[in-house]
Structure 1
Amino acid sequence: MGKKSNVALAIAAAAGAAWASTKALSKPQSRSSKEALEYGHPIILAHRGGSALAPECSLAAFEKAAKLGVHGFEIDLRLTKDEEIIVFHDEDLDRVTNFNGKVADYSLAELKKADLGYHFTDLEGSYSYRDCGEQIITLGDLLELYPQMLINMDIKDAPQTYEGSLMPSKLWRLLEEKQAFQRVVVTSFYDEQIDRFNLYAQNAVALGAGEKEVKKAYTAYSSQFKHLYHPKADVFQIPVKSNVFPLDTAGFIKFLTSLNIPVHYWTINDPVVMKKLIQNGAKGIITDRPDLAIDALKLD
């Protein structure tokens, strides 16, 4: 046997020994159950209220989705100049309103004058929501209006900004005031924001997975070291693909499910894809088209 073969065998043996030792020392721990995530069937979350059917994050959108029978909403959160938490996605206002500038430049009273339906026309192109009175709403208002809904909320303000530095504590106080711990999920693309929020929540609120947590989980799943993954999230809200890596396989979903972590996919508007994801084990669909999702996911 040549020198190269001996080296290869030695490396393989060392890798095997490392795997065996970590396997013996590390025991994967499932996430404890959260009431917000205890549902016996796949669920539909209306993305920003169902942003293909009415202006995103508007009362019109939330009301349409609720009447269709969705199980909850997927929303984004931002902080105003006077430190009020509003339901809004973009940092800038001009894409969906008649205002210019950033959310953080305005008080809530000023933002209430913005036309949330300024740029929106319905799917048929026959009805405009401009000047129909659709206003930006607060998270507090949404929680009070829909106490029966699961609300998945995404902190959008970056942790290094002034607004982002305040958001975790502000959000915790609001959820505490509304006693909404058992019907919300708090997440963010920024893992740091989730961690900072949980300093207050102490795992009393269901947590989503940030970008780093998703990468960590997928890396573990793709390797021989799945047993080294110790999750920090109670639910994954993810796209079907991240760069070139598929996140929608039955194997990856099963890996997370084995740790008591349900998987929700965004933003899915194709009924065929919805059905495939549910068949693969997904527990939730986040969609702009709750009308299509309700029909596609009808349970037998």
Structure 2
Amino acid sequence: MCAAMYVLSTVTGYVLTSALLFKCPSLLHRRKRETFRSRHISHRGGAGENLENTMAAFRHAVQLGTDMLELDCHITKDQQVVVSHDAYLKRSTGISAYISELAYAELPSYLCKLDVTFQKECYCEGGEDQRIPLLKDVFEAFPQTPINIDIKVNDDILIKKVSDLVMKYDREHLTVWGNSSSKIVQKCYKENPRIPILFSLKRVLMLVGLFYTGLLPFVPLKEQFLEIPMPSIITKLKDPNSMTKSQRFLTWLADTLLMRKALFDHLTARGIQVYVWVLNDEEDFKRAFDLGATGVMTDYPTKLKEFMERQSTST
């Protein structure tokens, strides 16, 4: 009887402590310092309004007042850091070659028409700017704009070069970097721990597990940004009739597990920003912000800006 009472009191104490720390994590963890806060994030510079990852796209987004540019990096044969999503250039340029096989001067231009990955059956037709830019071009053009860098390949030279550029342009306080790969994120952190990092996929899964077991409030986190998809948008990108029952169930399950206000609120209280991607419809913008997301990443920066303006005037 005494043993049972002891176990019960221990479990009760744990549950109450966990609940308290969920609401007040500062009791155990010092809140991370935020050097910037981003609500409006332009995915690939706004791939639905300008050709993705071009200077024209970045310029347009910054002129609109975006809080952050999201972009992707690779390294060329002559070790230049370039801004491009794909390692293999066929989709974006029509040329069958890898970026790593070509010198920067040999890189082809983007096609004048590119698909918008996260908007079903939509394309973007660009203007005169079809050049694959250097990362340093972006840093020089937008010295005060926070930039979210996706390190697309596990390459030590690429990681070091990006870190060197971040330091050269004094952007450690305006940059976040990482990838879904835990190996890449670990290398980024080891190369330059002063640049904030994203949660890798492995760490996201760990985060979710800790959240549902009640252990999250007790665990220190070195990451400063959680960047996750809203799984429900898959039903907008695919024909629902083409999805099997198991696919629909897994989508629903992933959405239910990830899109949790209590999780977002706890992380925000610890100074960890939560970005939801890639949202292109107003109903999804609203859902993300209602759940407590810090920011929304979109291919349509104009649409997101107009939505946010309407929301601010109606409150």
User: Is the 8 Å Cα contact of residues 262 and 283 (structure 1) preserved in structure 2?
Assistant: yes
The aligned counterpart of 1:110 is: 106
1:88 and 2:109 aligned: no
Cα distance in 2 for partners of 1:17, 1:258 equals: 24
Query: In the alignment, residue 168 of structure 2 is paired with which amino acid?
Result: E
Query: In the alignment, residue 271 of structure 1 is paired with which amino acid?
Result: E
Tell me the alpha carbon deviations over residues 3-47 of structure 1, each in whole angstroms, 9 at most, x when there is no partner.
xxx9xx79x769939958x97xx9852452141x3x3xx621110
Deviation, structure 1 residue 89: 0.7
Q: SS of the residue aligned with 1:154?
A: strand
The aligned counterpart of 1:47 is: 43
Aligned to 1:236, which of 213, 226, 233? Answer: 226
Cα distance in 1 for partners of 2:259, 2:132 equals: 34
Q: SS of the residue aligned with 1:236?
A: strand
User: Is the 8 Å Cα contact of residues 220 and 226 (structure 1) preserved in structure 2?
Assistant: yes
The aligned counterpart of 1:3 is: none
Query: In the alignment, residue 193 of structure 1 is paired with which amino acid?
Result: I
Cα distance in 2 for partners of 1:186, 1:80 equals: 19
Q: SS of the residue aligned with 1:297?
A: helix
Listed as ranges, the matches of 1:1-300 within 5 Å are 16=11, 28-35=28-35, 37=36, 39=37, 43-111=39-107, 114-120=108-114, 128-129=125-126, 132-157=128-153, 159=154, 164-202=155-193, 204-241=194-231, 244-245=253-254, 246=256, 247-298=258-309, 299-300=312-313
Cα distance in 1 for partners of 2:217, 2:61 equals: 40
Deviation, structure 1 residue 229: 2.6
User: Is the 8 Å Cα contact of residues 47 and 124 (structure 2) preserved in structure 1?
Assistant: no
Tell me the alpha carbon deviations over residues 158-189 of structure 1, each in whole angstroms, 9 at most, x when there is no partner.
x3xxxx12222221111111111111111211
Q: SS of the residue aligned with 1:96?
A: helix
Cα distance in 1 for partners of 2:226, 2:136 equals: 24
Over the aligned positions, Cα root-mean-square deviation in angstroms equals 3.1
Deviation, structure 1 residue 135: 0.3
Q: SS of the residue aligned with 1:120?
A: strand
Query: In the alignment, residue 279 of structure 1 is paired with which amino acid?
Result: D
Can you give the 5+ residue segments of structure 2 that lack an aligned partner in the other structure?
Answer: 19-24, 232-249
Deviation, structure 1 residue 127: 8.5
Cα distance in 2 for partners of 1:183, 1:216 equals: 27
User: Is the 8 Å Cα contact of residues 88 and 97 (structure 2) preserved in structure 1?
Assistant: yes
Can you give the 5+ residue segments of structure 1 that lack an aligned partner in the other structure?
Answer: 1-5
Deviation, structure 1 residue 121: 8.1
Cα distance in 1 for partners of 2:124, 2:276 equals: 30
User: Is the 8 Å Cα contact of residues 31 and 234 (structure 1) preserved in structure 2?
Assistant: no
Cα distance in 1 for partners of 2:115, 2:177 equals: 31
Tell me the alpha carbon deviations over residues 170-219 of structure 1, each in whole angstroms, 9 at most, x when there is no partner.
211111111111111112111222222222323x2222111111111111
Deviation, structure 1 residue 226: 2.3
Q: SS of the residue aligned with 1:153?
A: strand
Identity %: 22
Q: SS of the residue aligned with 1:181?
A: coil
Cα distance in 2 for partners of 1:210, 1:121 equals: 26
CA gap 1:75/1:282 in 2 versus in 1, 3 angstroms: same
Cα distance in 2 for partners of 1:229, 1:223 equals: 12
User: Is the 8 Å Cα contact of residues 45 and 285 (structure 1) preserved in structure 2?
Assistant: yes
User: Is the 8 Å Cα contact of residues 235 and 263 (structure 1) preserved in structure 2?
Assistant: yes
Cα distance in 2 for partners of 1:208, 1:52 equals: 24
